[in-house]
Structure 1
Amino acid sequence: MKKIFTLILSLLTFCLYAQNTLVGKMNVPNHPRLLLLQNEEENIHQSLKSNPTLQKVHISILSKCDSFLKQAPIKRIKIGRRLLDKSRTCLQRVFYLSYAWRMTRQEKYLKRAEQEMLAAAAFEDWNPSHFLDVAEMTMALAIGYDWLYNDLPINSRSNIKTALLTKGLEPSMLTGSNMFWLTAAHNWNQVCNAGLSFAAIALYEDQPEFSNAIINRAIDKLNLPMKVYEPDGAYPEGYGYWNYGTTFNVMLISAFQKAFHTDFGLGEKAGFLKTAGYLLNMTGPTSLPFNYFDSGNSAEINPAMFWFAAKLKNPSLLFNELKYLNKNTNALTNDRLLPALLIWGSGIPLNKIPAPQENMWVGKGVNPVVMMRSSWTDPNALYVGIKGGSPSLNHGHMDVGSFVMEANGVRWASDFGMQGYESLESKGVDLWNMKQNSQRWQVLRYNNLFHNTLSVNNEFQQVEGTAPIISCADDPSYRNAVLDISSVYKNHLAKALRGIAMVNNSYVVIRDELENNDKPSVVRWAMLTTAEVKIIGKNEAELKKMGKKLILRVLGSDHVNLKTWSTNPTTDYDAPNPGTVMIGFETFLPARSVKALTVLLIPQASEKRVENNVKPLKQWPL
């Protein structure tokens, strides 16, 4: 009875999307029709001849494909509750091998791609309980089915098509908790709809009505995650998940454009088109990202930036990507969607990438962020990033008001970023419970005690609080931003404002203006660093790293004593944090008192330019 009821609901869902037509029956090109049409390989060949940077990417892909030839096809082995590792392996192998076949016509790549797809097609399922696994496996086989359609044996093609239908598309029409991503405003929506739509396009001539239902649903549901880029392009989930969600979103837009000669308006959404500016500014002069929320500590290639650069006719968006391509050739093939870079970047003259013009980027929205720098071309430039927002957001941390800071080629103020999910889930940590008192916030890397922000009475920030940007100014003499962080401390403070400024492109000011409620409080100011810390006075510390120095100075507080806190884990589930320390101080706030905390971060050789008299936030330039 349960199966019959589920089937009826699935049919009703199918009818809903089939009838609420955004897309009617459409003519599609012959295979291949996803991303790269027949004979368009020649465009890439021509670009490779004149562009040594793209040539390196191409060679890296072929080399990786040769390594695949020595490896067995994937097996259905889950890690915890996920099959995602195997889905991603399959996507990389099939995309790379299919690209290699189309570009070289070497039989070995065709045969190995066929083996990989048949292995995945034979799985009992693609783990629909964690639907990202289904989405990425579906995209993998859709690309291979479409790109190799005319060269695959009929039996292999039939098996792959059946798997796409029964293990990919049909499970997506069921109802239940596994389908939560249909109403999500984050990366799950983008990735799942992209993967499924790739299959719908690949199978279009055989399943036009079913394919239209999948595509219509994607166009409808993608409005949710694409809206959160508004108004300025800031992506709520941070640097790492920008790569994931935005790149899959771009993959889908690009696929629609190729197959149907329209992207159904998705590629024209204003906030989305601005998000390349967000990603560009999220990387500092050290080439490290502003890695708040669940982001890794290192930069990575972002193929979607090549789509944005071409779409917006703005090659300066590739300023960081070009540096990455030139420095990290061996790491390029960590990106499973790397062939898309060659498709989108084939018409861009990478030998003429100008430096960006703006030294400050402000992104308002649900998770606002500000980045500022003294220069794009000076490797010793000053760089600061600060965020507001809320811990309640997807992949959120209690990091409201947190910042990173660089100078002289060193990142002085850091962020831990993410800890691997399985390392926590395997220890029984209730990681995805976002409630105030959940175990999630006991994880060292998730709570405010180990971020570059304030803690009041040694307690956690309020999950449902949110911090907007209330003012900012791109004034070269006092580039600054001010956030209202009051709501994440509402149980203890009546008001809390945090301002951060870059003064004369020389040093950084962090100023907190606090109003206490009717009970006394102890406020802790803290900053994470990978530098060696030496406290040289009660209100001054010297940080050293890579032969460089930075002074941390607290102004206007007679009762401050700088100290350090260990970052060593105290539980069996927290990851180790070698080479890091928290530096800061604690200060007492009497009941109903008002207090300002001002900290200067002074790079080596900037000491003579420091003004120790910092104005109140309301007097900062607007």
Structure 2
Amino acid sequence: MADAARFATLKTQDDDVSRAIKALIFQIAEKVLIASPVEYESVPILLYPVREVQGRVLALAMAYRLSDDARYLARARDELRRLSALKNWGTGHFLSVGEAAVAAGIGLDWLYDEIPEEERDHIASAIRTNALEPSLDAVEGTNGWVDGDYNWNQVCNAGLSVGALAVAERDPDLAARIVNRAIRNVPIAGKVYAPDGSYPEGVSYWAYGTSFHVILIEALRSVTGDSRGLEQLPGFLETADFKLHMSGPTGLDFTYADYHLENQNEPIMLWFASELGRLDLAVDELAVIQRLSRSSEDEIALRPNRLLPCELLWWKPELTGPGKTRSHHWTAGGVLPVAVMRSSWTDPRATFVAVKGGSPDHSHAHMDVGSFVLDADGVRWAVDPGTESYDRMRAAGITLWDYSQGSTRWDTFREGPEGHNILRFNGAAQDVAGKGEIAEMATQSGAPANVVDLTSLYTGQVARVERTVLLDTDNSVLISDEWTTGPQPVQAAWQWLTEAEVSVTPQGLLLRQDGESLALTVEPLANTTVAVEDVSGARELQDSSNPGLSRIVIRLSTPAGTTAKLRVRAIPGSAEHRTNQGFALPRHQQ
């Protein structure tokens, strides 16, 4: 991803952003110098140790190339020696292999002239025997890591390609075989971005898979001069906007699917900004970089993204201008239909609502189709608790990666239907064979609105289901649900998870949190029951506790062969017209 000339340029790159990134790189490298060796023994999988060594090697190698400080070179060589001494890089969990190959490949390449020949041979041999050769056992056409439509494809193929390109002059035929396989198969994973850039595995796995996709692009460009069009896959460049839209004014993401908050920054946003010539894509990341660069060494505690040194390569100091105007209403189709509405991009107290479609039957998916999150007045009122600990689920015997209808995965609170803001009928689960599609709606008031067709998620339960979400002009939000029953009556249950203090009012409910309030009005209030359930404690062995979490459940019995409607309006305390009814939905939703 860089040669001697590029490193020479980086040394003299002296704009404010570059200085801040360099300061962070040196802070991280200094922390590594006094850190204990990475522990490879006594861990169930090598993924986390090799991620740690990857971050160390990147920081140390970049710090050395910027400063010529021999301390960084010595420690980087030590990290590479210890990694190369392992007899296996975790072939039973091939993500580990892909990550280790990036560490070894970049370390070998960036420090090549400073590493003695015997050490170079040892590192190159480890790449070949621990990564490239074992990968040849993978069979294409099985939806495994080599050709699946999920992040493993991008991570493993990119990592192996980095390793292959680093040793290509030693074994050009093997390297070509590895790299060409990646070029052939990464577009399969890339199909999930089409057409608008949304990503089905959630925001954190978006960052993971997309980062390695970018690494592959840049590795190919630097070595061969040709990315093979991997950045031109439909929706891939548009996915930078997806990342922006998924974050609410509270700074919290839409935490659907298996969501892990791991890093404080997102380096690939600088790559997208440079690639597209859009400074607006970099603004949030630049603010994080400046904040981190002003923090003490103890405060950063190696928490920045392990790919942070790449930001120096991906940042273009000449990038200027306002960039693209961000839309307040964004709707994406494809594998993961999703819709986002917000009242402002600049007001931290703005109203923000995001709703998802899609299917539970996809990598890292939850049973959360139709679920939503809502921010207003600086508070996240409707929450998604994110993912459960994989280790905890394994220990409880949960079939972690089984997405079939009867999978025990759905018995986990955070993964299954219990832990999401969805509709339920007779307490049944959603149908994993179904998919929720989202369309924009035209309203008489001009307020942004989307309708989610949920019918296929409730096959055999009701005949038709739609959820409409509208952000009104007074910053209130309307959640309007309509369903038609079949030959049997059903009891519908409407779920809203919140960390707020909840009380029942004559009109519905009142939520209070952090000195703010949100009123929920319910129509029809007659013939409904409203309950506030404490779901803060762990329910089963596989479940973590959820401190402060409550679940509002509104139940409504519906006779056979009828159509029912339930409308819940969320009115922020700051709304000027609490009783405003100026919105107008299409007639079938009124």
TM class by smaller structure: over 0.9
Name the counterpart of 1:17. Answer: none
State whether residues 356 and 371 of structure 2, in contact with CA within 8 Å, keep that contact through their aligned partners in structure 1: yes
- What is the CA-CA distance between 1:104 and the residue it aligns to? 0.9
Could you tell me which of 299, 304, 313 is aligned with 1:334? 304
- What is the CA-CA distance between 1:181 and the residue it aligns to? 0.8
Name the counterpart of 1:366. Answer: 335
Name the counterpart of 1:144. Answer: 107
Name the counterpart of 1:558. Answer: 526
- What is the CA-CA distance between 1:559 and the residue it aligns to? 1.4
Give 1:336's aligned amino acid.
R
User: 2:492 and 2:582 mapped to 1: Cα distance?
Assistant: 22
3-state DSSP class of the match of 2:384? Answer: coil
User: 1:265 and 1:374 mapped to 2: Cα distance?
Assistant: 37
Give 2:15's aligned amino acid.
S
State whether residues 449 and 455 of structure 1, in contact with CA within 8 Å, keep that contact through their aligned partners in structure 2: no
- What is the CA-CA distance between 1:326 and the residue it aligns to? 4.0
Give 1:312's aligned amino acid.
L
Structure 1: gaps of 5 or more residues:
1-34
User: 2:351 and 2:263 mapped to 1: Cα distance?
Assistant: 18
Give 1:286's aligned amino acid.
T
State whether residues 297 and 417 of structure 1, in contact with CA within 8 Å, keep that contact through their aligned partners in structure 2: no
User: 1:96 and 1:446 mapped to 2: Cα distance?
Assistant: 36
State whether residues 99 and 159 of structure 2, in contact with CA within 8 Å, keep that contact through their aligned partners in structure 1: yes
3-state DSSP class of the match of 1:170? Answer: helix
State whether residues 143 and 149 of structure 2, in contact with CA within 8 Å, keep that contact through their aligned partners in structure 1: no
- What is the CA-CA distance between 1:133 and the residue it aligns to? 0.4
Cα deviation, 1:226-261, whole Å, max 9, x if unaligned, reads 111111111111101010000110111011111111
User: 1:75 and 1:417 mapped to 2: Cα distance?
Assistant: 29
State whether residues 444 and 585 of structure 2, in contact with CA within 8 Å, keep that contact through their aligned partners in structure 1: no
User: 1:358 and 1:299 mapped to 2: Cα distance?
Assistant: 26
3-state DSSP class of the match of 1:585? Answer: strand
Matching of residues 107-146 of structure 1 within 5 Å: 107-146=70-109
Alignment of 1:169 onto 2:135: no
Alignment of 1:50 onto 2:38: no
State whether residues 319 and 356 of structure 1, in contact with CA within 8 Å, keep that contact through their aligned partners in structure 2: no
> Taking structure 1 as reference, are residues 468 and 412 closer, same or farther at Cα in structure 2, changes over 3 Å only?
same
3-state DSSP class of the match of 2:282? Answer: helix
Structure 1 stretch displaced more, 112-121 or 475-484 = 475-484
- What is the CA-CA distance between 1:616 and the residue it aligns to? 5.0
State whether residues 287 and 299 of structure 1, in contact with CA within 8 Å, keep that contact through their aligned partners in structure 2: no
Structure 1 stretch displaced more, 402-411 or 54-63 = 54-63
CA RMSD in angstroms, aligned pairs only: 2.2
Name the counterpart of 1:63. Answer: 27
Cα deviation, 1:161-183, whole Å, max 9, x if unaligned, reads 10000001000001469992112
Name the counterpart of 2:158. Answer: 194
Structure 1 stretch displaced more, 262-271 or 105-114 = 262-271
Matching of residues 42-441 of structure 1 within 5 Å: 42-47=8-13, 49-51=14-16, 53-77=17-41, 79-80=43-44, 82-175=45-138, 180-296=144-260, 300-329=264-293, 330-331=299-300, 333-347=303-317, 349=319, 356-441=325-410
Name the counterpart of 2:7. Answer: 41
Give 2:125's aligned amino acid.
T
3-state DSSP class of the match of 1:273? Answer: coil
Alignment of 1:527 onto 2:491: no
- What is the CA-CA distance between 1:275 and the residue it aligns to? 0.7
User: 1:56 and 1:222 mapped to 2: Cα distance?
Assistant: 33
State whether residues 477 and 505 of structure 1, in contact with CA within 8 Å, keep that contact through their aligned partners in structure 2: no
User: 1:203 and 1:476 mapped to 2: Cα distance?
Assistant: 62
- What is the CA-CA distance between 1:310 and the residue it aligns to? 0.8
User: 1:402 and 1:584 mapped to 2: Cα distance?
Assistant: 14
User: 1:179 and 1:165 mapped to 2: Cα distance?
Assistant: 24
Alignment of 1:598 onto 2:567: yes
State whether residues 161 and 203 of structure 1, in contact with CA within 8 Å, keep that contact through their aligned partners in structure 2: yes
TM-score (ref. length: structure 2): 0.94
> Taking structure 1 as reference, are residues 50 and 470 closer, same or farther at Cα in structure 2, changes over 3 Å only?
closer
> Taking structure 1 as reference, are residues 413 and 238 closer, same or farther at Cα in structure 2, changes over 3 Å only?
same
> Taking structure 1 as reference, are residues 618 and 207 closer, same or farther at Cα in structure 2, changes over 3 Å only?
farther
- What is the CA-CA distance between 1:347 and the residue it aligns to? 2.8
> Taking structure 1 as reference, are residues 407 and 299 closer, same or farther at Cα in structure 2, changes over 3 Å only?
farther
State whether residues 58 and 107 of structure 2, in contact with CA within 8 Å, keep that contact through their aligned partners in structure 1: yes
TM-score (ref. length: structure 1): 0.89
